[in-house]
Chain A
Amino acid sequence: MSAAAPAPPRGSAPRRAAGGGRVLPFPVTGQELVLVGVVAVLWVVLGLATPAFLSSGSIVPLLVATAPIALIGIGVTVVIISGGIDVSVGSIVLVCAAVAATAMTASGLPLVPVLLLSVAVGGLLGLVNGVLVAYGRVHAIIITFGTLNIFRFVGLQVFGGSTIDGIPPVLAVFGRGEAGRTLGVPHSFLLVAVVAALAWVALRHTAGGRHYYAIGGDAQAARLAGIAVRPRVLLAYVLTGLLTGLAACFVIAQGTSTLAPNVGLGLELSAIAAVVIGGTSITGGRGSVLGTVLGALLVQTVASGIIQLGWPSQLSSLFIGVFIIVAVGVDLLRQRRRRSA
């Protein structure tokens, strides 16, 4: 609906900036506009079907639940734009959550050190991925499938075989409750918005950001053009690890005072789904973090809407699957038209 309304100007693709003659794509992609429309339509329809949906008691938990997937998705977007993939993020969440929860329960660590600890652990695991992918000359999916298992082992070892109980509400600032919002806006989502804005600017307007598109388009050509491909790629995985470490804190904050060892399981697929629904090309070289956040919002809207409608909650996976197919199909059609035009 709103996809048609703002009507992007004809021939919107390349716009020349005044000074350096740089060519930049239009700030908002078609896919993002479509997503805004789809989410808006869904919210209206769900609001009409179940009046409780559009109340803040329903929207706030929705935004809070979107936050970790969106945050991880931002990192994965950068990785996928650079032509790689990271399927180990679910296990990184497990390790970070286990370490953070243990630190809070066992040694009573306060908020800021917990956040730093979790982010640092995430960054370290991301560094492992990054070094192996960038310098090992092995396809990213193989490396991250391997580290998925290795990190899972590490996380389960930290867990020590059972759940972690009695986690103090240190992280409540990122939770669902009253402590988790200012003026009704959840802090976790606010943080996601800030990170997304920073990532958007960095990817679009800094040389380093443009390098990721170049690497994803053609790594060989990027190298010959003087881009330090390996450090760049390494950085993408470290970034994903750092963001995943932060997301792990969100996950703890959303849960109860008990953390089960299945935390983070399958999160990598949700994150990749959000990225792809957001219009990022899985083959690299094209994509945006705004789309990813919208994709995560769409996925979570569907999940929460289905629960509110009283349908079996597992049905949401079916819709996510259909959305992925539709998103990719629309993208393929658009590419085909661009090529023939």
Chain B
Amino acid sequence: MSTSTQHGESGARAPGRPEGRGPSRGGGLARVGSTVLRAVLTQRVLLLVVLLVLVLGFFLNLSARNYLAAPFDGRYLGLALINLPPLVMLALAELLVITSGRGGIDLSVGAIVSLTGMVFGLAHGQWGWPLVPAVLLAAAFGALCGAVNGGLVAYLGFPPLITTLATYYAFSSLAIVITSQQPISTAPIQDLYVLARAVPVVGDVALPLSLLVFLLPTVVVVWLLLARTAWGRRVYAIGTNDVAAEWSGIDVRRTRFLAFTAAGLISGLVAVVTTAQFASARPDAGTAGNGLALPAITIAVLGGVAITGGIGRVSGVVLAALLVVWLNAGILLAVAGNTGTQLQLLALGAVLVAAALLNGLAVRRYGAVT
């Protein structure tokens, strides 16, 4: 471990630091420098791009010097993206819920994934439903779970953190009890593994099918919803100030209810993705270990979603997830065995805290941050 940090320091300095940005080049360049610094600190997307370049440059450099267990190349980067769809989709679910404000957060997404996965497994694997109706059922059932959260939060005024903590318990318990802990891995479910297979895109770079079939449409739809529909603007409005939104004639409750429902729907689709990845509907798919909810919230926050609501962009979330996935993939190659997987935890936590602190700093120095 100590050796790898040494490499880390020597390698991190090498890439991504163009010469001639120093303050010695006169007033003009200094002004450019401070503008760049300001942009990087205040625009989360820019910061993430810089970090992404640094991480990729660092590991490519290590790879070129044969420090890694396997080459860190396009093919590997493509294959590593198998972890991306659940992470990004759930982080987008959190984006919707957190942005809708008033302490909005959804701890139950992982439990919804578990429960919906079992329902999907029963429908497709045991009742013999064809794939498309079964996926639609999963989406509808996930939306129903989300609607339970949304109803309690938006219409009855329950605090989101506690409500979704409660439904996390309830859904994860039901997921385990529903088949008395037995995973479903009948032939139709095993055939779904094709979704996790990689399809060649450019050269020897291949992308997992689930990324193309589930993730991309979800990203596009959520972006359209948030950036191009009236409902999306209303989400930002109620997240910024829901009293003002109420007075300007927005149906605050309905908007927030729909945000939670949409988050549930996305979680339902993630259930299909994880079922395909495991080739089995597992009752603990979204709740094993730390669960899927905590990483999703972490990614969302890292992606610039303000925990207080009203701020958050799809591009930030996608970039944050890419950063984490590729950082994790690199760590696995650089550090062998258990330490590698454990270092991923450290990396995730450190990046999150650092980004949050940086955000606070930027707010103090420059005012608003997007």
Contact = CB atoms under 8 A, between A and B. Distances in A.
The answer on A and B forming one complex is yes
A173 interface: no
B342 A147 contact: no
Contacts of B289: 262, 265
Interface stretch (B62-70, B171-179, B211-219, B238-246): B171-179
A87 B346 CA distance: 16
Interface in A116-144: 132, 136-139, 141-143
A222 interface: no
Contacts of A269: 107, 165, 168-169
Interface string A286-329: 00000000000000000000000000101111101110110011
B39 interface: no
A8 interface: no
B337 interface: yes
A148 B349 contact: yes
A151 B165 CA distance: 22
Nearest to A145: B298
B37 interface: no
B348 interface: yes
Interface string A137-163: 111011101111111110011000100
Nearest to B148: A325
Given A132-B357, A145-B352, A273 B165 contact: yes
Nearest to B348: A149
A132 B308 CA distance: 18
A35 interface: no
B359 A318 contact: no
B169 A273 contact: yes
Contact of A138 (B165, B177, B298, B360): B360
B169 A312 contact: no
Interface stretch (B123-131, B155-163, B265-273): B155-163
Given A145-B297, A147-B349, A312-B180, A138 B162 contact: no
B3 interface: no
Contacts, number: 145
Contacts of A192: none
A318 B349 contact: no
Interface residues of A, number: 44
B357 A321 contact: no
A85 B161 CA distance: 10
A40 interface: no
A329 B177 contact: no
A269 B108 CA distance: 12
B195 to A, nearest CB: 28
A324 B173 CA distance: 14
Interface string B340-370: 0011011011101100110110011000000
Given A272-B165, A312-B177, A321-B173, A153 B158 contact: no
Contacts of A145: 294, 297-298, 301, 349, 352
B5 interface: no
Contacts of B107: 269
A161 B337 contact: yes
A150 B180 CA distance: 34
A244 to B, nearest CB: 17
Given A317-B170, A332-B158, A147 B353 contact: yes
B165 A324 contact: yes
Given A147-B349, A322-B166, 4 more contacts: A148-B290, A157-B342, A161-B337, A282-B161
